[in-house]
A and B are shown apart, each in its own frame.
Chain A
Amino acid sequence: MNHLRLITGVILLLFAVSCEYEPKGVSERSLQPPGEAPELITLELDLPLDNDTAILPYRHIWYHFESPGHEINWIRWYIDASMGETVRSDEGFFELPNFSQPDGWHNLRLEVFISSGTGSLADSLEMEGTVVSVGQWVVKTLGTQYKKVTPSSKDGFLRLRWPPAGDEQPEYTVSYMNQEIGKTTASEFIVKEYVGQGGRFAVSYIDSRDGSTVYYGYVELPEENYVSWQADRNNNYYVSLNKLPYYSAVDTIVLVMSDFRNGYLILDQTTDPGQSSFTLPDSLFGAQMKIWMVVVPKYKDASYNADYKYTSPFATPRIDVSVGYPSPAFSEFFHTGPGEFVYHGWLPGKSTDQDYILRYSLLHDSIVDYAGKPSSDPVTSGTWFRNPSVSADGSWYTARIPFSQSAVVGSADNLSGYRIADLTAVTSYSYITPMPVSNTGIGIVISNTEWHLYDFRNDVVVASRYEAAVTESQGISADGGYIYFRTYHELRLFSWHNGIINSEHVLSRGESPFYDFFAFFPEEPEMAAGWDASSGTFYKIRCSDLSTQNSFPVPEEMILDIDFYGSMILSYSRKTLVVRSLDDGTLLRSIPVSIINPGTGMLRLCGGSIFYNNGLRYFL
């Protein structure tokens, strides 16, 4: 019996020790690992994708991303390397923190996590996916108080969005400039009537608890349509409109200019909102215009009035346009060679309170040298270089200094290297006339009762005529051998040889020919160019005996300039600029322009371009 007890007990013990439950089975799935990296499409982002700097009106940034065939698990942003919020949605907004330095710039980085889409364990745990860096920006917030309503462009229309007012969406009322324009129960509203003219949009709703109106949020939109102006070297002039953010709402774009008779004049129009530019005819060269565009809405509300005045709410701001290619504005202009000129004017980007002598290179299309008054000069503003003159080759230039009997004497090769010459002996304090100077440094200095030839190289008078120099304009030949004085009625020609000034010729109006335009050839000191307005004839004459070497018709109303280096004459007649050959008067170009009765020296011809003194250039 004892044996039986023992055996039974042992068997039972073995059973108890060995037969414990053991779990079994595995649920295994056959899945394909992820393939190529997914694509991220930015449908909307309140940050510029083509710029790494952004100035944000407020700290709310709306976004909408999409990845075809994949799920976007989250977006995450970092400010100055500190991780910000992780937002688990592919659409919505995130809010930047209050910066301790609100006016400062901060680094913002934005990442999007795209799941692999395999459905695997790692995919479910967001360990198998792609983190896409959307971009990095240097951002600054303007600290504008966020009034809940955010504007954006969707499908070419203005979309207003706002955070839901609560769990139960009320019916929102959307207003523009205090006029109701629609109702919605969603947190967004498409404004089809808006073309970017600016204004205030507001959102309100009725509180279901007490029936009161809750003014929920608003946004002030600035005017977003702007006109710009551009010219190219082919004398094409463009008026451009910025890229329209709400292009689907646009019916017509009208280009308008001011007109003193009718108020405005329609220049052109288009129904293609993608056309952002209009071309003006080159006959408008020289015109001073005020232009604007009117963006006519496609979906007009009841209050719309067809109005193209610049005061229309749909008009862009006006801009002042001088039609032509931008170039230096000048008060005096001097040829010094085939590819450059010296002028008296102002330094670009500087105040016009101070004048300068400048040298402009057509080869470089830029100012290559300039000179201003000495910094020690006590005169604070006004013209300092009075009545400047430049020799034919630019080796000398002169100008009178105001309120003195001194002159600036220098070379165009080194404009700022001028010196101040004391002309007390040969000038008066108040009688200030130009001092034309030859390539040799001999110049004409006129005082009240006499005039002198002055050697600016040695600061001595080399010859004098003790008679009043009655003149409206005067000149000296390149070698200093001939001098002329011209008034409307008379042209007096002198020679200077062997230290003696001789009166060579006196021509009076009424004689034929009489030269209404007279100038020395810079490279042929013996020769002069003369033009008789009464017969419309151009003459190339020898100064010694006034014999005609060449003549041909130039029948225009006036000669504006001669480019001796380019052998071309610029003349004007009835809103037309005419360019002729200096050799035989052949008509080279006839250019209709918007310039009426140009004054002497306003239009100059140099290096294949016409320069208008108000800062415009026409390319021949």
Chain B
Amino acid sequence: MKIASLTMLAALLLPADLAGQELRASFTAGVGTYRMQSLKTYIEIINESLPFSPELVDAFPPSLWYSAEVAVIRGDFSWGLAVSYNSTGSRVSLKDYSGEYLSDRMLSSISPGFTAGYLLPPLAERITLTPGAMLGVTFSTMKVDETLVADEEYIDDYHEDFGAFGLYGGPSLRLAWAVTPAVSLELQTGYILTYGIARFKPKKERDSWSGSYEIHPDWNGLRCGLSLCIAFR
């Protein structure tokens, strides 16, 4: 999380020193959906292999995401650098008088990348619409916590951190309202497509580990958010 924060600060602060350029910095927070099909299938397989029948009680729900971006405005186009943070997860649970089974997966990603946008003519005074696209890389982590207690005896107590690398890209659309000449608010929406180059592997034994299943981070999904934009002239 520290790395993610520093990366976003760098993306925010470093371009601001460029003198004589028209820059725009934006900070976005919103809600994203996450497909995570590979993990859902994996969890289903695992559940079916267990001698009991646990339930997937939390299956990668929509959750908050954050993004920071700096962009240069030249003519009708904007060119920028952005970094975003997403997190989601799952829980498999079963509990009765004899014990409890819990299997939590907490996923997060840091995704630095490039953005490009086309500045359409203002729709109205102070209102503009900007279609765009983004492209970058994503560093995913998955933290697994699994415990099984039966008859007051720990049968399983498993904790492991996994990591994976991938690419992402997708279209976006921004509807901006200029509060002042330097400050504006934007409604932003887009769809993220990820391509997992590498599957999840444990961080500790990354080279020697070989799992039975290919599990790729699958951050595909809709992103909607509200941005605060500051222009530097």
Interface, chain A (partner B; CB < 8 A): 1, 4-5, 8-9, 11-13, 15-17, 19-31, 33, 118, 120-128
Contacts and interface: CB of A to CB of B under 8 A. Distances in A.
A15 to B, nearest CB: 5
Given A21-B108, A25-B57, A127-B151, A12 B27 contact: yes
Given A5-B16, A21-B108, A27 B51 contact: no
A24 B57 CA distance: 8
Nearest to A14: B5
Contacts of B106: 20-23
A120 B96 contact: yes
B32 to A, nearest CB: 11
A127 to B, nearest CB: 5
Given A13-B8, A120-B97, A125-B155, A4 B230 contact: yes
B1 A20 contact: yes
A27 B4 CA distance: 34
B1 A9 contact: no
Q: How large is the interface on B (under 10, 10 to 19, 20 to 34, 35 or more residues)?
A: 35 or more
A118 to B, nearest CB: 8
B51 A125 contact: yes
A29 B5 contact: no
Contacts of A17: 1, 5
B24 to A, nearest CB: 13
Contacts of B25: 8
B78 interface: no
Contact of B98 (A4, A8, A13, A120): A120
Contact of A11 (B27, B54, B88, B90): B27
Contacts of B127: none
A27 B59 CA distance: 13
B106 to A, nearest CB: 6
B91 interface: yes
B228 A31 contact: no
Given A23-B58, A27-B94, A122-B151, 7 more contacts: A5-B16, A15-B66, A17-B1, A17-B5, A21-B89, A24-B91, A25-B58
Contacts of A9: 9, 12-13
A120 B52 CA distance: 8
Contacts of A33: 97-98
A125 B150 contact: yes
Nearest to A11: B27
Interface of B: 1, 4-5, 8-9, 12-13, 16, 25, 27, 29, 50-52, 54-55, 57-58, 63-64, 66, 68, 85, 87-91, 93-102, 104-108, 148, 150-151, 153, 155, 228, 230, 232
Contact of B88 (A8, A21, A120, A122): A21
A31 B12 contact: no
Nearest to A125: B150
Contacts of A19: 64, 66, 87
Contact of A27 (B29, B54, B90, B107): B54
Contacts of A21: 63, 87-89, 106-108
B151 to A, nearest CB: 5
Contact of B228 (A8, A23, A118): A8
B160 to A, nearest CB: 15
Nearest to B183: A4
Contacts of A27: 54-55, 57, 93-95
Contacts of B51: 124-126
Nearest to A29: B96
A29 B93 CA distance: 11
A440 B57 CA distance: 111
A368 B16 CA distance: 126
B126 to A, nearest CB: 20
A602 to B, nearest CB: 79
Nearest to B232: A1
B108 A12 contact: no
Label chain B's interface by main secondary structure: strand
Nearest to A15: B66
Nearest to B108: A20
B1 A23 contact: no
Nearest to A126: B51
Nearest to A122: B98
Contacts of B97: 31, 33, 120
A28 B64 contact: no
Contacts of B16: 5
B60 to A, nearest CB: 9
A80 to B, nearest CB: 30
Residue of A28, A33, A121 contacting most chain B CB atoms (<10 Å): A121
25 contacts: A4-B230, A8-B12, A12-B8, A12-B9, A12-B68, A16-B8, A20-B1, A20-B108, A21-B87, A21-B107, A21-B108, A22-B89, A23-B58, A23-B105, A25-B91, A25-B93, A28-B95, A120-B97, A120-B99, A121-B52, A121-B95, A121-B150, A122-B150, A127-B98, A127-B151
B95 A26 contact: yes
Contacts of A20: 1, 87, 106, 108
Nearest to B68: A12
Contacts of B98: 31, 33, 118, 120-123, 127-128
A6 to B, nearest CB: 9
Residue of B68, B150, B232 contacting most chain A CB atoms (<10 Å): B150
B105 to A, nearest CB: 8
A122 B52 CA distance: 9
A552 B91 CA distance: 113
B1 A26 contact: no
Contacts of B89: 21-23
Contacts of A16: 1, 4-5, 8, 66, 85
Contacts of B29: 15
Contacts of B57: 24-27
Nearest to B56: A27
Nearest to A12: B27
Nearest to A120: B98
Contacts of A121: 52, 94-96, 98-101, 148, 150
B231 to A, nearest CB: 11
A407 B163 CA distance: 113
Contact of A12 (B66, B100, B230): B66
Contacts of A1: 232
Contacts of B5: 12-13, 16-17
A29 B102 CA distance: 14
Contact of A5 (B4, B13, B64): B13
Residue of A11, A29, A33 contacting most chain B CB atoms (<10 Å): A29
Contacts of A8: 12, 25, 27, 228, 230
Closest 6 A-B residue pairs measured CB to CB? A25-B57, A122-B98, A124-B52, A23-B91, A27-B55, A120-B98
Contacts of B55: 27
Nearest to A31: B96
A1 B85 CA distance: 26
